[in-house]
Structure 1
Amino acid sequence: MANNFDLQEQEQLEQIKHFWNTWGTPITWVLIVIMGGLAAWNGYRLWQGSQAQQATALAEAVEMAVQAGDLARVEQAVGDLKSSYGGTVQAGQAGLLAAKALADAGKWDAAKSTLAWVAEKASDEGYQALARLRLASVLIEQKAYDEASAQLSGKFPAEFAATVADRKGDVFALQDKKQEAIAEYRRAYQAFDERVEYRRLVEAKLNALGAQVETVASATSGGVQ
């Protein structure tokens, strides 16, 4: 019996040796790849966390500079974010905040530059859309109506449809294109929820152009888009 067990063990050892000689190298490489992938993924996550922390610190520096009215520091901190952490959500947030502060201070060119960067580089499409809308507003303020129209002509997320139409209406109204302005204000009025206060301002714009709200309602019921 003992010899039989020894024989079985020897056969099992031979099978294991044969299996390992055949598949040992591929298995080893698979394990190396898997472990290397896990190490790389963990390293990437650590790097992402570090990037987010540093970007957050700079974004907070932007906010503090805005509150202090230190526009030079605002521009410096945003510049650091753009150059080192441009792919982070914090960079888009800080860019929008900085651009508002710059525009409020009448630094239109600096505001435009910051908004253009957010519109192109922000990692979140919502921030990109907001940047384009605000950039259009700055361009309208500078009477650069064609450039403003170009910013508004691109694709926006669906939730921005009403605001985009309203802003297009503003551009047309300022260009004395009354019918085009009315058409855009109608789209905006129809797209805004009834509970949104801004809808009343769109109504006032329509009234100022001689288009009553009843006209808009009638157009809606008649299927006019």
Structure 2
Amino acid sequence: MATPLDLQEQEQLDQIKDFWKRHGTLITSLLTVALLIAAGWNGWNWWQRSQAAKAGVLFDEIDRAVSAGDADKAGRVFGDLRDRFGGTVFTAQAALLAAKVQLDKEQADAAAGTLRWAAEHAADEGYRRIAGLRLAGVLLDQGKFDEALAALPKDSEGLFAALGADRRGDILRAQGKHAEAITAFQQALAAFGSEGDYRRVVEAKLIALGAPQPSLPAASGAAQ
């Protein structure tokens, strides 16, 4: 004869069976999706680590080429790194290194191409801005003033805004647009603030253009 406990257990089993009959397929599907997501995430992390490791090997090759002053090899290895691992930070760093040795070996067009890629495609925004500033400098030296202005990073803040304004002033001064250059250098000063050796460089540029010698901002906490 069934006891009350047996009947209670049977009722619970019936409830579980009924619940599983109604929701089992959904639960199984959700578990499957969760497992697939977890497996995919682990696979993605492994792939990212693998890509970074392979990119690191090529970066070391570029570093050695730069140390040896071999611009041609640095350019070739950078091209391989760019095509295979363009989304890694190593590639952005390698672009700056390769461009430097290319400039040292008077390969300005090659350096401009390397920097242009980094300015447009580097995974890290900071590297894109650095590359844009350096590209603008290369184009300025080549007398390509409009291209140099276009290469300057947009919507920069802080130090990048100061460096961008200073470089814009250099380009405008080279074009003979002295009034606009003074405005750009003044914007650079405002962004640099009152500290740093770079401020004195910008001040010297303003003085050379005949602008009034800028005064330093009042020190914080100065007497009123």
Deviation at 1:177, TM superposition (A): 1.3
Q: Deviations over 1:48-73 (max 9, x none)?
A: 11111111221121111100112222
1:102 aligns with 2:99: no
C-alpha contact 1:92 1:127 (8 A) present in aligned 2: yes
Write the letter of the residue equivalent to 1:125. Answer: E
SS at match of 1:217: coil
Q: Which amino acid aligns with 2:215?
A: A
Give 5+ residue unaligned stretches, structure 2: 219-224
1:116 aligns with 2:116: yes
Q: After superposition, where does 1:1-225 map in structure 2 within 5 Å?
A: 3-152=3-152, 154-213=154-213, 216-217=214-215
- 1:78-121 CA distance string (max 9 Å, x none): 11111011011111111111111111211011101100000110
| Equivalences, count | 218
Q: Deviations over 1:127-181 (max 9, x none)?
A: 1111111000000110111111112273324331111111111111111111111
| Inter-partner Cα distance in structure 1 for 2:197 and 2:153 | 25
Q: Secondary structure at the match of 1:210?
A: coil
Q: 1:129 to 1:164 in 2, by over 3 A?
A: same
Note if contact 1:115-1:132 (Cα within 8 Å) is conserved in structure 2. yes
Cα offset, 1:185, TM superposition: 1.3
How large is the RMSD of aligned CA atoms in angstroms?
Answer: 1.8
Return the alpha-carbon distance in structure 2 between the equivalents of residues 166 and 34 of structure 1: 52
Give CA-to-partner distance per residue, 1:4-43, whole Å, 9 cap, x none: 3332222222222111111111111111111111111111
Report which stretch shifted further, 123-132 or 52-61.
52-61
CA contact (8 A) 2:132 2:153 kept: no
What is the Cα deviation at residue 191 of structure 1? 2.0
Q: In 1, distance between residues paired with 2:8 and 2:131?
A: 75
List structure 1 runs of 4+ shifted beyond 4 angstroms.
Answer: none
| CA deviation after TM superposition for structure 1 residue 2, in Å | 5.5
Name the amino acid aligned to 1:122. Answer: A
Give unpaired runs (5+ residues) of structure 1: none
Question: Which range moves more in the overlay, 188-197 or 89-98?
Answer: 188-197
Higher helix proportion: 1
Look up the equivalent residue of 1:89 and give its one-letter code.
V
What amino acid sits opposite 2:25 in the alignment?
T
- AA aligned to 1:88 is T
TM-score by length of 1: 0.90
